[in-house]
Amino acid sequence: MILKERVVENRIMGHPAQGLYKMVLSGQIAQTAIPGQFIHLQVADSNDPLLRRPLSIAGIDKVKEEVTIYYKVIGKGTELLTRIRENEHVSVLGPLGTGFTIPEQGELLLVAGGIGVFPLLSLIQVIDNEKVRVKLLWGGENKQFMESAGLIDIEKMGVDMEMSTLDGSLGTQGLVTALLESYLDGGRITELKDKGNLKVATCGPKGMLKAVTNICLSHKVPVEVSLEERMACGVGACLGCVCSVKDSEGNLKRKRVCKEGPVLDGKEVVWDE
């Protein structure tokens, strides 16, 4: 079904230089959405831009029947999105694609790059804190992003987090992969790893996902990645959004990021064809 969701909130977050926006939609999406899925949203009633825009679900409130998305203005489509006012209705397909596996025990390690932190937030929301320990590693360009995103003191919300920035303005200077390496090398989690009680979920730019996957696999830690690819239909009909995977016999296959993804098992993804 094509849904008409009501825009409850659509506002800029923090520093204008970040171009970061939050949008809350009220309607049916929340009923069935799971963390990791996305929506395919029509930004304008015109032929330019022609296509819908895929956006990850970052928050799911089943009681209020609302989903939250965060987006960064990078082109015409996202710019038009900022002009949508509260109480207007938008045409949405979704929830679409696969979601993250939700662990019931052990530790879930979230590895986020830049704006990729948002889809992982919806995962934090649904985890049973009594049974599963959650740890977040975030890497980005600078402190301003985290300030704008309102995540600078996410630790107060009970999330254990380590951060790194390229300019060193927040956390350690460097890449999130360095945080990941030293965390996985740490003695404390050896036992968790050995029992298979440590799982990683990651979202961010493709190069980071590849590096994170390689590090996890070398530590024999299972990892789920959330991929991005340019999309047209969003429902598996056009084959525009594929990624490459290796099947169990080692044959190269395609998967549709919109249908068999966006969340895939990191170990099957072929990063460089």
Residues in contact with another protein by CB under 8 A are 1-2, 42, 47-52, 91, 93, 229-244, 252-254, 259, 273
Within 13 Å, how many C-alpha atoms sit on residue 89's CB side?
Answer: 7
Ranges within 119-148 binding ligand FAD (CB under 6 A)? none
Q: Which does 35 bind (CB under 5 to 8 A by kind): ligand FES, ligand FAD, another protein, none?
A: none
Q: CB of residue 264 vs ligand FES: minimum separation in angstroms?
A: 13
Q: How many CB atoms lie within 10 A of CB 172?
A: 15
Please name which of 234, 223, 229 lies closest in space to residue 180, comparing C-alpha atoms: 223
DSSP string, 29-95: HHHH--TT-EEEE---SSSSS-S-EEEE--EEETTTTEEEEEEE--SHHHHHHHTPPTT-EEEEEEE
Asked if 45 contacts 91 with a C-beta cutoff of 8 angstroms, the reply is no
Q: Per-residue x/- mask for ligand FES, residues 201 to 240, rule CB under 6 A?
A: ------------------------------xxxx-xxxxx
Residue 107: C-alpha distances to residues 50, 104, 192, 225 (Å): 43, 9, 8, 17
The answer to whether residue 254 forms part of the interface with ligand FES (CB under 6 A) is no
Ranges within 70-129 binding ligand FMN (CB under 6 A)? none
The answer to whether residue 254 forms part of the interface with ligand FMN (CB under 6 A) is no
Ranges within 249-268 binding ligand FAD (CB under 6 A)? 262
In the complex with ligand FMN, the residue whose CB is nearer, 199 or 255, is: 255
Rule CB under 6 A: which residues touch ligand FMN? Answer: 238, 240
Q: Where does this chain bind ligand FES (CB under 6 A)? A: 231-234, 236-241, 256, 258
